[in-house]
């Protein structure tokens, strides 16, 4: 853990002590400082983090609201990091998310934080793992990362969680896209939500059949209706008893490294110049890669 300069009349150490004691204002300030690169927090042991992804409109936020209700009723403290990969400046999606979470973010046992990727490549938000570790250190026992989609740009941020829940609706088409993106290989549990609509059970059966034909280890498939409060209890039991799969852990670490590498490369100020050099023939691909490696090495030096 590194402590940087103070904020206001309190330094970071004082803010951290307050946050650990339950001061939400202090916690919010530290999260903002992490987001702005002014505070870092090393890995905290025994982190419980759930990544929830899936295409827009499948009821992820409503489902998360039901999970929150169950967990807080059982005495858990739940923190939600709602990621909006499409909005570079505002947390636009989170207002709707909070409304769809029914009133689950009311009370001291729930903390909801909106995060925009600011068009950061690969869906990775710098230092989001520090936010997860900070929540865990401050006593939040259930940490949820929610994204607005299930495409390639969401894989990087979801891979930071040690448990992944993939949510779909009663339409096979969206899940096929998830398969193409490789998210199904990293998922621990798959949920077909909106079981009150036609084809939900058929969609779940098709997913199970597809998984049985592939090389992916057995993944439980649930059918739920967040609207009608069906199937939620069984899902909670499965999530609570879930032991993260080591083979999927390696896939996630691989994806996280690749996403960070892509982010470092594309966000480097010299990246566009390197492309021009390749285009006009002044540098080869190999030479450009070596130049980029050197630039990134200089950028990440402690």
In percent, the amount of the chain with pLDDT more than 90 equals 35
pLDDT of residue 172: 55
18 falls within a domain: yes
Domains identified in the chain, total number: 3
Q: Are residues 219 and 290 in the same domain?
A: no
pLDDT for 297 beyond 50:
yes
Q: What is the mean pLDDT of residues 148-169?
A: 72
Q: What is the mean pLDDT of residues 81-107?
A: 53
Distance CA 145, CA 82 (A): 6
What angle (nearest 5°) sits at the alpha carbon of residue 256, between those of residues 47 and 244? 40
Query: In which domain, by residue range, is 15 found?
Result: 1-40
In the chain, where do the E strands start and end?
49-53, 78-84, 110-116, 142-146, 163-168, 189-192, 221-223
How sure is the predictor about 151, in pLDDT bands with cuts at 50, 70 and 90?
low
pLDDT for 119 beyond 90:
no
Q: What is the mean pLDDT of residues 139-152?
A: 80
249 falls within a domain: no
Q: Are residues 180 and 80 in the same domain?
A: yes
Phi, psi of 99 (to 5 degrees): -65, -40
122 falls within a domain: yes
Q: Are residues 26 and 165 in the same domain?
A: no
162 falls within a domain: yes
**280-283: which pairs have CB atoms within 8 A and are 24 or more residues apart?**
none
Q: What is the mean pLDDT of residues 77-84?
A: 88
pLDDT of residue 88: 42
Q: Are residues 6 and 82 in the same domain?
A: no
16 falls within a domain: yes
Q: Are residues 50 and 35 in the same domain?
A: no
Stated pTM of the model: 0.79
Interval 24-78: pLDDT, tens: 999 999 999 988 878 888 766 678 999 998 887 888 889 999 999 999 999 999 9
pLDDT of residue 120: 56
Distance CA 171, CA 204 (A): 10
């Amino acid at each position: 853990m590194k402590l940087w300069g103070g904020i206001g009349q309190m330094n970071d150490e004082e803010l951290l002590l307050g946050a650990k004691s339950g001061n939400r204002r202090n916690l919010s300030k530290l999260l903002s400082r992490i987001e702005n690169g002014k505070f870092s927090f090393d890995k905290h042991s025994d982190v419980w983090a759930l990544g929830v992804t899936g295409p827009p409109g499948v009821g992820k936020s409503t489902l998360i609201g039901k999970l929150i209700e169950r967990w807080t009723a059982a005495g858990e403290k739940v923190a939600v990091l709602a990621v909006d990969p499409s909005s570079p400046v505002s947390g636009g999606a989170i207002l709707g998310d909070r409304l769809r979470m029914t009133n689950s973010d009311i009370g001291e046992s729930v903390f909801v934080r909106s995060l925009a990727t600011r068009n950061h490549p690969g869906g990775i938000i710098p230092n989001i793992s520090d936010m997860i570790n900070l929540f865990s250190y401050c006593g939040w026992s259930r940490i949820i990362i929610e994204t607005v989609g299930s495409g390639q740009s969401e894989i990087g941020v979801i891979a930071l969680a040690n448990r992944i829940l993939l949510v779909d609706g009663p339409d096979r088409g969206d899940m096929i896209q998830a398969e193409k993106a490789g998210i199904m290989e990293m998922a621990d549990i798959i949920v077909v939500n909106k079981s009150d609509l036609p084809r939900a059970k058929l969609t779940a059966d098709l997913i199970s059949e597809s998984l049985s034909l592939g090389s992916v280890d057995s993944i439980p498939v649930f059918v739920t209706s967040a609207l009608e409060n069906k199937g939620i209890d069984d899902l909670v039991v499965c999530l609570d008893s879930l032991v993260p799969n080591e083979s999927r852990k390696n896939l996630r670490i691989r994806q996280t490294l690749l996403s960070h590498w892509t982010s470092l490369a594309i966000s480097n100020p010299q990246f566009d110049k390197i492309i021009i050099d390749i285009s006009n023939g002044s540098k080869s691909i190999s030479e450009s890669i070596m130049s980029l490696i050197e630039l990134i090495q200089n950028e990440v030096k402690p």
